[in-house]
Amino acid sequence: MRQLVVVVTCTDRKIAAAAPELQVRSLPGGSVAQRLVVWQERLSRGASKVPLARLYKGEHWVQTGELMRAAASAGFAPELWVASAGLGLQPVSSEFPAYAATFSPRHDDSVAASPVDRKLWWKGLQKQMSTPRVAELGARRSVLLVLSDVYGAVLHPELHELAQSSDDVLLVGGSEDVAGMRRLPANGALRSALGGTMTGLNARMAASWLSQCSGGVLTSDATCRSWARWAESAANPMRYNRVPQTDAQVKDFIRRKVVEHPEHSRSRLHRMLRDSGLACEQSRFAQLFLEVMGEK
């Protein structure tokens, strides 16, 4: 039975609230390296540690469970790892306390504001936590990566390294193509066929891919052809007769959703507005978003 390493993005939703000292917002100022030292010390002292398999919750995590079952049904021996802005790359059997850390910009617990600093944080976090690089997981095993766009950007150097060292890798989601690696960008046109929301779309796409796998090879030519035929037939771009909104209505929407989903980017909030059947042109939404953020 072929071994399959599955790497998924962590989720902001957890079974318990993080203690104040385990929220990135409480870290003192200083360089990325200095803040990482404090963060690792706090994690090591944290109480009520539980396996990561039990720590996370929400649709993304439910769909991750479905993904693992799909991998087993496809004839693989799957092993689940989580890419976390607070913990590095960890197997789901590892135990940690609830924490609050994210790469999402404009979140109170964002580890860094700039793309460069986010990559520095990740590299430093791996060293502090003694976690492996993604490429190390691919030795003589197939690798399935299910990543959000922001995690895809942070891990891009490692994804490139993995693509050079392993020939059976699939990236679902991510931020951009990686030379030598097969990728399925998040495709909203498949939502009607796969069900669920955008939050669980990448995991659902990955499970659908696995349902078409054969021969114990993740990215075989036969599977690629089968997926392409299915995706073409199943794609159903959503079209709305969206309701125009005034500036005041759009701002009210932004204020509510920023509170409900502080980890979401501006573009994601805009998609949420459009998916709910409301209309607002992208550049106008961007300007109104900046005005709302300036109210704080």
What is the pLDDT averaged over residues 254-276?
Answer: 85
Q: How far is CA 41 from CA 27, 37, 143, in A?
A: 11, 6, 31
Assess whether pLDDT exceeds 80 at residue 106.
Answer: no
Pairing of strands 95-96, 50-51: antiparallel
Cα–Cα distance for residue pair 113/104, rounded to 1 Å: 9
- pLDDT band for position 50 (cuts 50, 70, 90): very high
Instruction: Give me the pLDDT at residue 214, please.
Output: 77
pTM of the model: 0.81
Assess whether pLDDT exceeds 70 at residue 296.
Answer: no
Instruction: Give me the pLDDT at residue 73, please.
Output: 93
Mean pLDDT of the chain: 91
Cα–Cα distance for residue pair 76/93, rounded to 1 Å: 19
Residue 209: alpha-carbon gap to chain centroid: 18
Cβ atoms < 10 Å from Cβ of 289: 21
Helix axes 282-293, 266-275, angle to 10 degrees: 120
Instruction: Give me the pLDDT at residue 238, please.
Output: 57
Residue 155: alpha-carbon gap to chain centroid: 11
Cα–Cα distance for residue pair 74/215, rounded to 1 Å: 9
What backbone phi and psi angles, to 5 degrees, belong to 234? -90, -20
Instruction: Give me the pLDDT at residue 31, please.
Output: 94
- pLDDT band for position 215 (cuts 50, 70, 90): confident
The 3-state DSSP composition of the chain as helix, strand, coil percent (nearest 5) reads 50, 15, 35
What is the pLDDT averaged over residues 284-288?
Answer: 92
Selection from 95, 59, 94 nearest residue 79 by Cα: 94
DSSP secondary structure letters along 265-277: -HHHHHHHHHHTT
Write down the residue that tokens 């980017």 correspond to.
265
Instruction: Give me the pLDDT at residue 267, please.
Output: 85
Write down the residue that tokens 């891990």 correspond to.
155
Assess whether pLDDT exceeds 80 at residue 105.
Answer: no
Cα angle for residues 193, 199, 265 (degrees, 5° grid): 130
- pLDDT band for position 258 (cuts 50, 70, 90): confident
Cα–Cα distance for residue pair 80/53, rounded to 1 Å: 9
- pLDDT band for position 239 (cuts 50, 70, 90): low
Instruction: Give me the pLDDT at residue 240, please.
Output: 56
Q: Is 109 helix (H, G, I), strand (E, B) or coil?
A: coil
Pairing of strands 278-279, 243-244: parallel
Instruction: Give me the pLDDT at residue 101, please.
Output: 96
pLDDT tens-digit readout, 118-160 = 999 999 999 999 999 999 998 778 999 999 989 999 999 999 9
pLDDT tens-digit readout, 56-103 = 998 899 999 999 999 999 999 999 999 999 999 999 999 999 999 999
Q: Which residues pair with 172 in a beta bridge?
A: 146, 184
- pLDDT band for position 192 (cuts 50, 70, 90): confident
Cα–Cα distance for residue pair 210/215, rounded to 1 Å: 11
